[in-house]
Structure 1
Amino acid sequence: MHKKYYLFLFVLFTFLSCSTPKKLVEASVANKIQLPESARRQFDYYFYEGLKQKDNQQYDQAIETFRLCLAIDSLDAGAQSELGLMYSAMGFDGPALQCLEKAVRIDPSNWWYNAQLISMYSDAKNWKRAIELTNNLQKLYPDKDDVYSMLATFYKQTREYDKAIAAYDHLESLVGINETTTFEKFQLYILSNKPQKGVAEIDKLVNKFPTESRYKVLRGDIFMQQKMPEKAYEIYQNVLKDDPQNAYVYVSLSEYYKSTNQPDKAIESIVNALKTEQLDVDTKVDILGQYVERLVQDSTKFVETESLFKLLIDRYPLEEKVHGYYATFLLYQKRNTEAIAEFETMLNINPKNEQTWMKLIQVNTMDKKFSQVLTVTKRAMESLPKLAIWYFYKGIAQFQLEDYKGALDTYKAGLPLITKDQTALQSDFYAQIADIYYKQQMKDSAFAAYDKALAINPVNVMVMNNYAYYLSLEKTDLKKAERMSAKTIEVEPKNSTYLDTYAWILYQEANYFLAKFHIERAIDNLPKDEDPGIILEHYGDILWMSGAENEAKALEVWQKSYDSGNKTEELKQKITNKGWKR
């Protein structure tokens, strides 16, 4: 809701920074009547020149010009006021207050001079002086409603709630009962621990506007806050009888159903609210955002939920967030191709949305559509150039497509675009560079790049894992590899990849008992959609070296690895030869 006082301040602050009201100019001219004719003309010239400089935001020149005015007539309130405003615009609050105080002393009944000074004290949070000046202004302008709005706001800041309420009572006597004043008084009574009086204010509003159902809904919401859901529900049902399309009552009913442990009805109420025409699109999107997770996860209402999304998209085809929430729904159902189409629609609406580009890239990456990732990252670079993250994903795609030289060139091109606050991304860049070097058999360069990645981000567990694993493959610096790998499983104790690495390092150190323990934990935590081939081969190797009693099981595990798709010549020889000599 818009508070009248804040609107007044907006007008006032606009006045302070822009043109001067005609009344101020006239007051300034009136104060110069006693000047000699030549001095008056010179004053007028400088005064209007200062106003012109102020309008052009030439504040330094305006300050000097208004000083020239005051050199001619130091008791001109208009010039004092304008000089104070210029000092304020330049950030010189002390001199600004002095000038505005002097303007008020010269012309104490002038509304605008007082209002300017009050605003400055309000900005400085000097509530005592702001209240003093506003009370003086109230005596001069007892029928001006803005005075009481200001007084109430200042008293609220000093926690003098009774005085703030009294100010709103005066305001009500001038303008009548209205929503803004009533809500402010309700809040003040709540802050004063007088909830019944606050409720009485809402009742006055309901009685004043008996056909306005929003206020009745609000009365029900208050009953909810007071832990009286039965009374709230009764009000909501009465509102629905008179106004079955009232969106607000459906939103409130949803809260009622949540509090009474009826989640299905809560969702149903929100759907009803979203289908109405009463709510604007921004409100609907806000509500949808609060409930989207529950909507997409309710498998019993997938058809209804999808119909709702399609309805909203039909009504608001250019609303990004509606398409985004529908894409979330589609991703949850693993309908990635359709989700990608929604992201593309969002980019047609707003090609500068970085988050949408990221989601589109990530979905294609998850689907291992690396050629498509290359296409999307190129488009993202064209729409939002100089963002290093596009180079990161482009490099990943090139690496997966075995274009190692291209990937390395991409990462080197992206490094200068990384900002100072993107240390995690910078570390990941060097990690990817290290992986590329290792693939190209440039092992010293790879290990140097890993060291650099960890120097930038010492807690980068992905780097620790890869670095440790490659050290173990080279059978070099195994203690360093073990330390790094141990840290990764401290951070993620159920990560099957990290557990496999740690087990493999222990295997290289001939610690077969612990290696077997950790490889079995890796298999237990292996995600269903992850390729088990390498881990099973490692498990077979560890079993083989654990003793003759595990030979049969080792052969069985190797065969499972081979059958899963890990059809390397090395593994085939292990199975054919039934192991190797220990």
Structure 2
Amino acid sequence: MSRISAFVFLLISLLFAVPAWAQQAAPAKEDAPNKKSEKPEKPRKLSRREKKELSRRAEVEAAQLRVGATLSDRDRGMSESYFVDGVKYVLLEDYNKALERLLKAYALNPTNAAINYKIAETNLLSGNLKDATNFAQAAVKYAPQNAYYYLLLAQVYTSQKQFDKATQVYTSLIKEVPDSDYYLFNLADLYMAQGKLNEALTTFEQAEKKFGPLDEVSFKKQQIYLKQNNLEKALQEGEALIKANPEEVRYVLAQAEMYASNNRMPDAIRLSEQALKQDPDNPQARMILADVYRLQGNSVESAKQIKLAFASPALDIDDKVRILVDYIKQLPNPAIEQTALDLAAITTKVHPKEAKAFSVAGDLQTITGHKAAGREAYLQAIRLDDSKFLLWQQVVLIDAELNQTDSLLRHTERALELFPNQSAMWFYNGVAHILDKQPIKGVKSLEYGRKLATDNPELLSQFDTQLGDAYHELKEYAKSDAAYEAALGFDANNAQALNNYSYYLSLRGEKLDKAKEMSGKLVKQFPDNDTYLDTYAWVLYKLKDYQGARQALEKALKTTTDATVIEHYGDVLFQLGEKEKALTQWQRAQKAGGASAFIVRKIKDQKLYE
């Protein structure tokens, strides 16, 4: 259920010497030093405000040194001087020097509570909890009426997870210091931290008797009842809160959530609708209704309510993104897909200047197969905030999937202006240049990106594979072969490297046995892949194994109408003496489009040209 910010007392009471309750209720005490509010394990930087307050307190505490002291004027003056110096070094966060001065003051006046307190506080800040404990105990002993000394001791014990001792300190504080009943709230929080729910409940009830009914206490008691599985008592507290604060929608919504989480759906709907009467645009009420209707199987009404909630600017963008991410985790799921897309569209409409809205919308569009729409959403997110590399990466991946070379080239160039050290983007840029028939530029990008990817062997292998293709286009065959060998050295089953390397070797008529081994290995792994079958067939063709090539191509042609495969089949048939059938296949290849430059001469002369 929802939480109310005013109720974060449990954590505060564990970390701070004067928690939120004390700050709200305690009267100012001019003779009491303020507390620190940081975990003792690690020293922290003091704020300017804290330093100013410590400086003021130093004067007050110096005055305390005179109270009840039986020192000579000289010793009193020296003690005060050391004390003030010590406080100064605390302000400067030089705790070693601070302790040096304070201990000199202590040597002159060991029973002074203020000196003991300041030494304890300094030890706490520097992480010396043992000494902090001893000096804090002494401060309480010498000034049992000073509430802040108890608070420091409680903090020291809490920092050591000695909650029982901290509890005893709060109990003594409430007993010994007049008008300190407001620390009952701290004590109750401490009991809750220990899981002592009955004691916490009793202490909160004591506080209510002293101070009257308090909304925050009712809310805390409600949480205790829930932990005790006493639902009826928790609900009674909730109803009492609503009755005492009829104008407070948050209590109505908290009660509605409690009903919903305990399967009291009619009551949850009743209170949610009550909240909407008070605040018609309240998105939280809509979200509760959406959840209740979903649990009841009423998907239509559930979708209606959540869309109304998303249409409200009052529902935080981060909450919307979190909910959309939950939808993403459930995809693919036809039952929720359209609702998720609608919610993403509403989010971008309501928050047109939030990059994260378009980013998550892009994710949803992409996952549901709407690649172009997903890319446009990512690009809009980039227009609002171009600093997220992952968004650029998503864009160029979609460019590649859609085979849109111009977009891939344009987007990678823009991304590299912002992220020149991202090796992956150089890879995409190199691929884009190769696809754009600019192998020289492709090689330049790939070689540069490869230097940036030395700590990523998998990405290096991808660079090497693409460089093998690019160097082949440039007829730099030695570099091409070396790149493929490097790629296969990392992954001997790299399909792209095995296929392209073996095919280019067959075109050159070189290392045909090696080409046969590589392409055969690939076909064995992917026996129905027409591209790999065509490569294997062409290697066999170059080895003059025309029957083997024919079998591979006929299998490939069961799943493809690619002109190259058809033309190759015609070439094989021609070599086998079936010239009429060869001519028919060449004509098919020409009609399909994308055949070799020799196809017209082959058909016209009915001869094989290679």
| Fold shared, TM-score > 0.5 on shorter chain | yes
**Matching residue of 2:155:** 119
**Equivalent position amino acid for 2:532 in 1:** T
**Matching residue of 2:596:** 568
- Residue 533 of structure 1 is aligned with which of 562, 571, 577? 562
Structure 1 stretches lacking a partner, 5+ long: 527-531
Structure 2 stretches lacking a partner, 5+ long: 20-34, 506-511
Is the CA contact 1:179–1:205 (under 8 Å) kept in the aligned structure 2?
yes
- Residue 40 of structure 1 is aligned with which of 52, 68, 76? 76
Shift in alpha-carbon separation, 1:86–1:300, aligned structure 2, 3 A: closer
**Matching residue of 1:387:** 422
1:410 and 2:445 matched: yes
Secondary structure in 1 aligned to 2:154?
Answer: helix
Alignment of 1:554-565 (within 5 A): 562-565=590-593
Secondary structure in 2 aligned to 1:193?
Answer: coil
Counterparts of 2:38 and 2:480 in 1: how far apart (Å)?
Answer: 64
Structure 1 vs Structure 2: percent identity of aligned residues? 19
Question: Which digits, 9 at most, give the CA deviation of each residue in 1:454-511, with x for residues without a partner?
Answer: 666x59x7xx11121134323454687369748976xxx9xx86x7437845885787
Is the CA contact 2:9–2:189 (under 8 Å) kept in the aligned structure 1?
no
**Matching residue of 1:350:** 385
- Residue 324 of structure 1 is aligned with which of 332, 354, 359? 359
**Matching residue of 2:470:** 436
1:274 and 2:345 matched: no
Shift in alpha-carbon separation, 1:480–1:129, aligned structure 2, 3 A: farther
**Equivalent position amino acid for 1:308 in 2:** I
Deviates more, 1:424-433 or 1:397-406: 424-433
**Matching residue of 2:350:** 312
- Residue 252 of structure 1 is aligned with which of 288, 308, 328? 288
Is the CA contact 1:189–1:197 (under 8 Å) kept in the aligned structure 2?
yes
Question: Which digits, 9 at most, give the CA deviation of each residue in 1:232-259, with x for residues without a partner?
Answer: 3344344445543332221111112211
Q: Please tell me the root mean square deviation across aligned C-alpha atoms, in Å.
A: 4.8
**Matching residue of 2:183:** 147
Shift in alpha-carbon separation, 1:80–1:15, aligned structure 2, 3 A: farther
Is the CA contact 1:32–1:76 (under 8 Å) kept in the aligned structure 2?
no
Is the CA contact 2:62–2:80 (under 8 Å) kept in the aligned structure 1?
no
Deviation at 1:344, TM superposition (A): 5.0
Deviation at 1:312, TM superposition (A): 0.5
Alignment of 1:2-401 (within 5 A): 2=5, 3-7=8-12, 9=15, 13-14=36-37, 17=44, 18=46, 19=50, 21=54, 22=56, 26-27=60-61, 29-31=63-65, 33=67, 34=69, 35-140=71-176, 144=180, 147-174=183-210, 177=213, 180-241=216-277, 243-276=279-312, 278-287=314-323, 290=326, 308-309=346-347, 311-313=349-351, 317-327=352-362, 334=370, 336=372, 340=376, 343=378, 345-384=380-419, 386-401=421-436
Shift in alpha-carbon separation, 1:562–1:30, aligned structure 2, 3 A: farther
Shift in alpha-carbon separation, 1:500–1:360, aligned structure 2, 3 A: closer
Secondary structure in 1 aligned to 2:266?
Answer: helix
Is the CA contact 1:4–1:180 (under 8 Å) kept in the aligned structure 2?
no
Deviation at 1:270, TM superposition (A): 1.3
* Bigger relative contact order, structure 1 or 2 (CA pairs below 8 A, ≥6 apart): 2
**Equivalent position amino acid for 2:284 in 1:** Y
Counterparts of 1:333 and 1:408 in 2: how far apart (Å)?
Answer: 32
Question: Which digits, 9 at most, give the CA deviation of each residue in 1:11-32, with x for residues without a partner?
Answer: 7654775336555763464245
Counterparts of 1:225 and 1:169 in 2: how far apart (Å)?
Answer: 26
- Residue 469 of structure 1 is aligned with which of 490, 499, 518? 499
Aligned residues: 555
**Matching residue of 2:518:** 481
Is the CA contact 2:344–2:360 (under 8 Å) kept in the aligned structure 1?
no
Q: TM-score w.r.t. structure 2 length? A: 0.72
Is the CA contact 1:447–1:467 (under 8 Å) kept in the aligned structure 2?
no
Counterparts of 2:587 and 2:523 in 1: how far apart (Å)?
Answer: 29
**Equivalent position amino acid for 1:227 in 2:** N
Shift in alpha-carbon separation, 1:389–1:302, aligned structure 2, 3 A: closer
**Matching residue of 1:529:** none
Shift in alpha-carbon separation, 1:384–1:469, aligned structure 2, 3 A: closer
**Equivalent position amino acid for 2:346 in 1:** L
Shift in alpha-carbon separation, 1:562–1:350, aligned structure 2, 3 A: same
**Equivalent position amino acid for 1:470 in 2:** N
- Residue 532 of structure 2 is aligned with which of 486, 489, 501? 501
